[in-house]
Amino acid sequence: MATASALLAIGLPGAMADGPYVSVSESATWQDNVTYAPSGDGTRSAFSLGSGADISWLHSMDFSTVLTTGLSANAEVCTTFSGLDSLSIGPNLELSHKIGVGPYAAVLKAGLQGSATGFIDPERSNIEGDLVLGMAQRLSDALQVVLDARLGSYDARDIVFCGNFASLDSALNWDVTDTWRIKVLGGWRTGDTVADYSAERTPSGWAAIDPETENLPGAWHYVSTFGNPFVAYRVSARTWSYGAAISPAIGRHSSLRFQFVQYVTSGYDRYVDSIASLSLEHHF
């Protein structure tokens, strides 16, 4: 990756590479509906631990334009369901341009992100590619708004875990003091989602407890990831999310963040999932 970045910097007139910049993170996450099941039909909660690392290089194109290349890696261990343990790695490329001068000028971003993720449950292993568009602008010395839009596609070893999506996430950052930051979060997503319904044994084999799900138009598959058999369905759905985070700095290059986000999905059924996480991030 470093070689590719150096060649890219050489091939772009006037581009000067700066870096590498490295950040690492550790996280603990509680998810109350990891199966993404409708209420009362197989909801399972889970606790997981995660670790990530990012390395990036900056290439100055001109006074207001920067090209960023990088590589990210993440590992996650689910203490409740080992089949969800995963390791992912992938490159990213982003071009950012500042419109105007001064601290309140908007910054526009466009980029590509890719990842290859392997799960202990091999049917979930996938390759994903995203087109990313974004904007960031300070409204005042203390307030900043950030938008992140994505078009993504992922291809897994089993068809039920394949799909496409479009999403838009927003954040309002409030720097209360030099140490404390509060975030207000909101998001929207439409596209393919996997929902799991608990299953029961019948004379003809395993079947979803909700018999009407047999008529779902998407792909379906029996899975044993969650201990007792479940039936996983790929459904077309729309999700709204909202939440908040508080992030104190604990040094010049380190910060903590506690975040809570709730996801409400409408598709064949209604699926509600709440995720609370505590993370530590350090920049080198």
CATH code assigned at 6:
2.40.160.40
Asked if residues 206 and 175 have their Cβ atoms less than 8 Å apart, the reply is: no
List per-block mean pLDDT (blocks of 10 residues) for the chain, which spans 284 residues: 38 60 97 91 93 96 94 97 96 96 94 97 96 97 97 94 97 96 98 90 77 77 85 93 97 94 94 97 93
Q: CA 38, CA 197: separation in Å to the nearest integer?
A: 8
Locate the DSSP E strands across the chain: 16-31, 46-60, 65-78, 86-98, 107-119, 126-138, 143-156, 163-175, 180-202, 205-208, 220-223, 230-248, 254-266, 270-283
Q: Is 35 helix (H, G, I), strand (E, B) or coil?
A: coil
Query: How many CA atoms lie less than 13 Å away from 157 in the CB half-sphere?
Result: 10
Listed in sequence order, the residues at least 6 apart from 45 whose beta carbon sits closer than 8 Å to its beta carbon are 30, 31, 32, 33, 34, 80
pLDDT at 7 (0 to 100): 36
pLDDT at 164 (0 to 100): 97
Domain that holds residue 163: 2-283
- State how many domains the chain has: 1
